[in-house]
Structure 1
Amino acid sequence: MATAANPALRSDPHHPEWQYLDLMRAIWETGSERIDRTGIGTRSLFGAMLRFDLGGGRMPLITTKRVYWKTATREMLWFLTGETNIRPLVLQGVKIWNEWPHAHYVRETGDAITLDEFVRRIAEDEAFAARWGDLGPVYGKQWVDWPTYRYGPDGKYERGPGINQVAQVIDSLRTNPGSRRHIIEGWNVAELDWMALPPCHKSYQFHVADGRLNCALYQRSCDVALGLPFNLWGGALLTRMIAQQVDLEPGEFVWMGGDVHLYLNHADLVGEQLTRAPSGSPVLDLVRRPPSIFEFEISDFAVRDYCPQAPLSAPVAV
């Protein structure tokens, strides 16, 4: 396989995107071939780390293919609402969660409608969306409404008030920046079986040093070709949003992966992307400071100096 990861072909050997390309190459060339949950098969390595400096507005926005950063941003804003139904995303033209509820609908009803028809019904029929568009208590639900339980006045165990982890972290960063407990956790063991997909990017920890906000994200499972470019943007975006809210400069974003893999049917994408070399340094501007992190809008984000190469597509494994 031809590869621009060869050091002799690197016009800018210090570009941070080489970390991503080197990980992709290592998985494809040395990863263990495994049968996975989807039945497609992967090449996989265990344990990886990428580090990105977010100073000066820089973002880990992949340039060796086009990454639709507005789509990823809309998803992040959806997480922060605590919403678990795909309909708000569908109405914005965001397609990244559609396959899971569609597959569930086909299994449960035996009605083998196409994905496009399913999505059209989600958009046009609110009752249908309420029944078939929900993903269960995924990401945002855990982030802003983690369930608690207590004994009620009648002595019975009952649901208590939800915990807004995002709001708590922002408050703790303001009042106790030296804490080692600035954590947003998505892995709620008690509710995993109710989720369409258990959280992949599961644990975020924040750290304050020298007036800068750092973030470490641990991802238990990562589709490096399709998912990781979105995950890098999303984690860095959340860091930038929180940093603005707590009056800190953005620091370092550290991504850590557990099972990092490439699907065997992504060979064409991998082969093409590894012939490309990164260039440029995309910058994100936050053009408004909303009263809270939960009041950001898509118009509050602007990207400069992003000149990606052509898009690359591959099938999503469900």
Structure 2
Amino acid sequence: MSRPICGGATTLASRHPEYQYLDLLERILAHGDERIDRTGIGTRSVFGELLRFDLSGGQVPILTTKRVYWKPAVREMLWFLTGGTNIRDLLKDKVRIWTDWPLAHYRKATGEAIAQGDFEARILADEAFAAQWGDLGPVYGKQWRRWLDAEGREHDQIATLVDTLRRNPASRRMLFHAWNVGELDRMALPPCHMVYQFHVTSRGRLNCLIFQRSCDLFLGAAFNFTGGAALLLMLAQQADLEPGELIWVGGDVHIYLNHVEQAREQLARTPRAFPTMRLARKAESIDGYRIEDFVVDGYDPHPAIHGDVAV
């Protein structure tokens, strides 16, 4: 299906970059391999995809064909950078996107049919309860900031990355990942966006490649694009570089069968101009950023489309 060029408020010189996402969505609906997955809901999936977004002009890939709540996505990325693994910290910021997994575990372990809101309220009110039932195990933040090697030493992959960006930007070893084989069985969910690799051009632009082994394209990808863009901006600023490309590579890219109609609704919409994102200040370190530091301008999306998370 040939899609038109769309420019939103202004005419774009080339095809809108959001069509990369929409074309992939459409291709999975039309040709994806349908099968039953771990959740029991079922998916249509393809394997091995690549999307590229140029951030050098200030625009970021916050999807416009449905509203993306970009602040929770950025808050999640900031939470990863703290090394945190308990949903209590997210809930304090009114971010509920990780609640489903500990809630399902609690219900299964106790037999109590507690409502999500009541579970979250208890996590916030009772620190001991949160410690027992709100922890996700050694997920992203733990691996990024406190990777444990065979000798018991901890490794801060983010601090090492920032140092290398500053001291040796031509390095081909600037990456971090979260697929710690020895700790996978203790994680509420094994890492999906599992490897981030970085590249600095001779002109001082920072590029980021994200490899995502598993991607819920309708519901999750928008968060991954937004969080990845926020991370690239922070790292570029810390290393006195300019933002370059955000390159996303997907392994198993899928649409859940209970999202098919929502995906079709999204495909019927025309993209609008991507918004811009900038940092209001330079934090003293990668650990110093707050949600207030992120300024998004020109975001004029279509209405949100609801979809349930598959657990």
Where on the TM-score scale, by shorter chain, does this alignment land: which range? over 0.9
Query: Match of 1:240?
Result: 233
Equivalent pairs counted in the alignment come to 304
Question: Could you list the runs of 4 or more consecutive aligned residues of structure 1 that deviate by over 3 angstroms after TM superposition?
Answer: 9-13
What SS class does the counterpart of residue 144 from structure 2 fall into? helix
CA contact (8 A) 2:206 2:236 kept: yes
Alignment-mate amino acid for residue 205 of structure 2 = R
How far apart in 1 are the matches of 2:242 and 2:180?
31
CA RMSD of superposed structures (Å): 1.0
Of 250, 256, 280, 1:263 maps to 256
Matched, 1:96 2:92: no
Of 166, 175, 179, 2:171 maps to 179
How far apart in 1 are the matches of 2:59 and 2:159?
25
Deviates more, 1:272-281 or 1:192-201: 272-281
What SS class does the counterpart of residue 59 from structure 1 fall into? coil
Matched, 1:66 2:67: yes
How far apart in 2 are the matches of 1:186 and 1:71?
21
Q: Deviations over 1:107-150 (max 9, x none)?
A: 11111211121111111111111110000000010001101232
Q: Deviations over 1:27-57 (max 9, x none)?
A: 1110000110000000000000000000121
Query: Match of 1:24?
Result: 25
CA contact (8 A) 1:82 1:143 kept: yes
Of 274, 288, 296, 1:303 maps to 296
State the shift of 1:281 in Å: 2.5
Matched, 1:11 2:6: yes
State the shift of 1:268 in Å: 2.2
How far apart in 1 are the matches of 2:215 and 2:99?
19
Q: Deviations over 1:54-95 (max 9, x none)?
A: 012110110001101100011011001101000011111101
How far apart in 1 are the matches of 2:260 and 2:32?
13
What SS class does the counterpart of residue 141 from structure 2 fall into? helix
Query: Match of 1:313?
Result: 306
State the shift of 1:11 in Å: 3.2
For residues 1-318 of structure 1, the aligned pairs below 5 Å read 6-7=2-3, 9-12=4-7, 14-150=15-151, 159-160=152-153, 162-209=154-201, 210-318=203-311
How far apart in 2 are the matches of 1:173 and 1:91?
32
How far apart in 2 are the matches of 1:33 and 1:246?
44
Name structure 1 gaps, 5 residues minimum.
151-158
Alignment-mate amino acid for residue 266 of structure 2 = Q
What SS class does the counterpart of residue 253 from structure 1 fall into? strand
What SS class does the counterpart of residue 243 from structure 2 fall into? strand
What SS class does the counterpart of residue 171 from structure 1 fall into? helix
Query: Match of 1:153?
Result: none
Identity, in percent, stands at 57
Alignment-mate amino acid for residue 189 of structure 1 = V
State the shift of 1:219 in Å: 0.1
How far apart in 1 are the matches of 2:238 and 2:93?
26
Alignment-mate amino acid for residue 223 of structure 2 = F
How far apart in 2 are the matches of 1:189 and 1:10?
44
Name the TM-score, length of structure 2 as normaliser: 0.96
Alignment-mate amino acid for residue 36 of structure 1 = D
CA contact (8 A) 1:10 1:277 kept: no
What SS class does the counterpart of residue 274 from structure 2 fall into? coil
Name structure 2 gaps, 5 residues minimum.
8-13
